[in-house]
Amino acid sequence: MTGSDRDGTLRLLLEPPGPRRVAARYLPVAALVIAFAAIVATMPSKISSSQGNVPTGQWSAPPAAKGVTVAGVKCKPGVRQLPFSHYGPMCTPAWQGNNGGATAPGVTAKTITITYRSAISPSEQELYSLVAPSVVGTNAGTIQAMRAYIKVFNKYFDLYGRHVVLKPFNGKGDFLNEDENNGAPQAQADAATAKSLGAFADISLLSSTALYDKYLADNKIISINPVGLVNNSWFEKYAPYAYSTSADCETLAAGGASFLGRAMAGMPAIYAGSATLRSSLRKIAILYPATPPTYAACVQGIASDLENLYHVKPAAIIGYAIDLGTLTQQAQTTMEHLKADGVTTILCGCDPVSPVLMTDAAANIGYYPEWFWFDIGDAFARLMNQSEWAHALGAGQQDIPIRQQGGFKVFQMAYPHQLPTPTFGFVYASMLLFYSALQEAGPDLTPYTFEQGFFHLPPSAPGGEFGYWRFGNDVFAPASSDQVLWWDPNAISVVDGKKGAWRVCNGGAQYAATPGIGPNVQVPPFHKQLQCFSNAPPPG
């Protein structure tokens, strides 16, 4: 159905008409957040009177440390506990003493128990019929990667005489239903299962949802999952139990509006694939999955910030239904509408599969706008219609050769003759964050000391594969910067050696919405075209 809201912004909402749905959350929501934000930004952290003042200042070389870590690494200035990483606590000499034994549920004198929920649902099975597991990964591959990181991190991080134990289980929940705020009994039952398994924390990644994490918090279980598109007040409400590698809605709105308002609006759409669109001032549309409802709230936040801060009004805000039976028709209708309306630029905060159908639909009618998506890997980008994707920009981090990536290195340390799941980077980020906070929490491990350890982690050093991570009081999700990328169909990927790869714009600059949050992190350029595609229109 179509219509106009009160401020005149065109709004098209395609409601799910039937039972056949494809999961909107094929990958951790961390990836979806990047899609909307374009540039993940930071918001000022308010200081909690109950937690004390923790500074969030710039990174600087840490003071010298003396001694040797539990893994035998010699401590010296600038060295982290995981010595080749840009992230995590600074190198700390091995601890000796009495850790206090069972300091919290899920903690004994020797173990810290974590759980992983495999939510095997019809939605996930439909996913694998559309996107091969070799691209998106599987629960089994995720569990194997977790075991690899546990094997290595148990050695390198100082857990004060303890080690982490993983207990995976098959859940009853369906993460699509939970994203729609349904399926509460099943999510509650799964959280109770995690408690019965003795979980101190749960890291369920693909199978995590805000609803499941809420019930984990009710059971006093920590979660470090890529729960996205919730307000920071949600994390505060469930503190000290909920954390994320993603971003909250306030951060999301500021980042998306900053990028669109500063670096794209009011200038010609020079990267579009047709001469008419290239000579037109940008007319921006935002596409997003209509469920869960929190997505719409975040998108409206972007639209509000765009209008109030940059005097830019999106030409269209389109929520589409994740419905396999109607998705092709929705894609066709949507592209016809955007073409007729003269939209030059599409910010696609989409699930990983729908753009495949949308780019096909656009190509079928000879419509070649600028696309802005998110970098969730070269393999996914190759699924798109390449005549369309030759005009695509994205947000993320430039890939480095796979054997130089921290997640790959650590996996190979555990299993030198095997390859990790394609989504190992998401697994690695959550596990690295969890172990870092465990070490900073100290031997008296409880959810409250874990929270303080999390808040007190040092910011990342420049050059890390996840961009800049900052910490401080009430910072429950540390990701703070991104690069702008462009898709080159002819480039050879440094990840898998295949044709088609993301390349950086503007020399690989790191961007955020707030200046001065970290080293070498900038705000997007104001009213200046991005230097992508050699700043010339790609072939169309």
Helix or strand (DSSP H, E) at 355:
helix 354-364
- Residue 458's nearest CA partner among 469, 449, 467, 450 is 469
Token reading at 108 = 């004994």
Residue 120 confidence class, pLDDT cut points 50, 70, 90: low
| Helix and strand numbers, DSSP H then E, in the chain | 18, 16
CATH (residue range 9-41+250-396+480-535): 3.40.50.2300
Across residues 391-405, what is the average pLDDT? 88
The tens digit of pLDDT for each residue in 57-100 reads: 333 434 546 899 999 999 999 999 999 999 999 999 999 999 99
Domain with CATH 3.40.50.2300 in the chain: 9-41+250-396+480-535, 111-246+402-455
Per-residue pLDDT, averaged over 171-176, amounts to 83
* Structure token pair of residue 539: 């072939």
Q: Which of 228, 246, 164 is nearest to 202 (CA)?
A: 164
Asked if residue 520 has pLDDT above 90, the reply is no
Q: For residues 405 and 409, what is the distance between their CA atoms, to the nearest angstrom?
A: 6
Angle among Cα 443, 444, 448 to the nearest 5 degrees reads 125
Task: Assess whether pLDDT exceeds 90 at residue 187.
Answer: yes
Asked if residue 54 has pLDDT above 90, the reply is no
What is the helix (H) or strand (E) element at residue 289, kind and residue range? strand 284-289
| pLDDT on residue 129 | 66
CATH number for 111-246+402-455: choose from 3.40.50.2300, 3.30.1330.10, 3.20.20.80, 3.30.70.3270.
3.40.50.2300
pLDDT exceeds 70 at position 128: no
Give 308's DSSP letter: H
Is residue 292 very low, low, confident or very high in pLDDT (cuts 50, 70, 90)? low
What does the alpha-carbon distance between residue 344 and residue 334 come to, in Å, rounded to a whole number? 14
Cβ neighbours for 132, distance < 8 A, ≥ 6 positions apart = none
Please count the CA atoms within 13 angstroms of the CA of 520 that sit on its side-chain side. 16
377: nearest Cα among 466, 286, 493: 493
Distances in whole angstroms, Cα of residue 430 to Cα of each of 27, 93, 142, 221 = 14, 24, 12, 16
Comparing 324-328, 334-338, 359-363, 488-492, which segment has the lowest mean pLDDT? 324-328
Residue 486, H or E segment: strand 483-492
Residue 372 in tokens? 């802005």
Q: What is the pLDDT of residues 413-457, one digit of tens each?
A: 999 999 998 889 889 999 999 999 999 999 999 999 999 999 999
